[in-house]
Each structure stands twice: as structure tokens, then as C-alpha cells.
Amino acid sequence: MNYFSHDSNARNDERIIRLRMKYGAVGYGVFFMVLERMRDATGYMCATDYNAISYDLRVDAELIRAVVEDFELFKFTDDHAFFYSSSMLRRMKQKDEVSRKRSEAGKRGGRPRKPKVIPSAPESDKPAKNSSPPADTQTDIKALIGEYEQECMCMKFHINQAELSKRYAQFILDCQCRQTEHNDRRDAINHFNDWLRIVLEAETKKANEQSERTSQANKRRGVQATTSQPQDYSGAF
């Protein structure tokens, strides 16, 4: 958006007062319309072509000439080909400088930041590594689950301890076949919980489907067995 700053008391400037005394609000309006054209022009200067400005502003060319030349509001280049406002140039220079700095700051902000290099701690400051090997969560899953957790699993999945022990063996075999590794005890227990839920749901679904097929087959056999044939009633009673 193009704009320029406008002092709220510009009307009280001595030169503007003389302009207003002679041409009233019309002269004041022409002055600021010329400034608007100047703001959008290259170099913030207008060509000294009053007829062209007159056509643009729909104002008499002589009035524009008077506003530009008679009240010391504008200055001219040496060849008189262009005129400009010292106040406009000063204000736009400040604005353009602020815009330039913001643009440069934005470009710097968009550049990828260099990764921070964190110096490694001296060997003496590093924590000592645990000399004992981690538990084998593939083969020790039963040992990892406490008694209370086992009771919770039995209640959750509606199975007894014997069934749970059988599922341990199945789980270990599945992990070994898939070469599954666990990060720690909690990871192994969570995996076992999810695995057991999926297995039991699949078995229940399969059992229900088998039961439904058996029931449908029994119904079909019952219908066939009770179907009446004409010859069944051909004999005498």
C-alpha cells in the first residue's frame, strides 16, 4: 500500500494559510492531490506538465500552476523539467529506509539457522555405563510382569493364570519370528497387552463365525429332515 505521512496541523503552515486565503479548500485539496501524484511518481517528483496534471485531477491547469509555483510549496530541478517537495523527499527517505531494514531482517529470518554445536562432555564427566546387560524381553516377559499386573490382565481379558502362561509362550515365539525388540520393561508389557487383546479378539470372532455357520447348517439339515413328500402319505392309516 502506497502512502505518505500527513501532519494533522498542515493547514496551519504559513504557506498553506496563504494558499487557503486565496483559493480556499479547493486550493488546499489541489495541493494534496499533487502530493499524492508525487508519492506514486518515480523519484517522488512530478513532470512540470500542468496540462497533464489538469487532465488527471480534472482541475484548471492555471490553478495547478499557481499552487505549484506561487506559494513556495515546491522546488524545481535546474532545468525546470520536474518539481518536488523537500518535505516529501525527507519523509519518503525515512520510510524507505525503514522498509529496507525490515526487508533485510525478513531475509535473514528466512535463512536456515546454523545448528548449534553442543560440545561433548569430557570422558570423566560422562555417566558410567551400566555394566549389567539389559533383560531379554523376548524370553523374560513373564518375569517382567509383576503379580499384580498379571492379576489385572486376567481380569481384563477374562482368563486364568494357566491361560495367561500359555499366552506368554505364544507371545515369545511371535516376537522371535518377527525379530521384535523392546526398548525396556514398559515397552514389552505394553506390546504384550496389545498383542493379547488382538489375539483374543480374533479368536472370539472366529469362534462366533464358526458357531454361526454350525447353526445355519443345523437349520438346513432340520428343514431337509422335516420336508414332507407326497409318498409319505400314500399308505392307509
How many domains are there within the chain?
2
Q: Which residues pair with 83 in a beta bridge?
A: 46, 76
For the residues 24-37, what does the mean pLDDT come to?
A: 95
Is residue 136 a part of any domain in this protein?
A: no
- Is the Cβ–Cβ distance between 82 and 37 less than 8 Å? no
Of 104, 133, 159, the residue that ends a domain is: 104
Q: What is the pLDDT of residues 202-218, one digit of tens each?
A: 998 998 998 888 888 88
Cell triple for residue 91?
Answer: 519523509
Task: Render pLDDT for 104-115 as a digit per residue (tens, 0 to 9).
Answer: 877 776 565 666
- In this predicted structure, the answer to whether residue 133 has a pLDDT above a threshold of 50 is no
Enclosing H/E stretch for 195: helix 185-226
In a domain, 44, yes or no: yes
| Whether 77 contacts 83, CB under 8 Å | yes
Is residue 124 a part of any domain in this protein? no
Q: Which domain holds residue 64?
A: 10-104
Please give the pLDDT value at position 72: 96
Taking only the tens place, the pLDDT of each residue in 143-197 is 677 776 787 888 888 888 888 888 888 888 888 888 787 777 778 888 888 888 9
The verdict on residue 120 lying in a domain is no
Last-in-domain residue among 85, 104, 123? 104
Q: How confident is the model at residue 130 (pLDDT cuts 50, 70, 90)?
A: very low
Domain boundary among the residues 82, 104, 126 is at 104
Same domain, yes or no: 164 and 82 = no
All three cell numbers of 51: 496540462
The C-alpha atoms of residue 155 and residue 79 are separated, in whole angstroms, by 100
Residues 72 and 155 in one domain: no
Residue 189's nearest CA partner among 236, 225, 148, 221 is 148
**Is the domain of 76 the same as that of 146?**
no
* Residue 139: strand, helix, or coil: coil
Higher per-residue pLDDT: 88 or 134: 88
Question: Same structural domain for residues 97 and 162?
Answer: no
What is the sign of the dihedral through the CA atoms of 203, 204, 206 and 207? positive
Flag whether 191 is in a domain.
yes
27 shares its domain with 82: yes
Residue 40 shares a structural domain with residue 94:
yes
Structural domain includes residue 180: yes
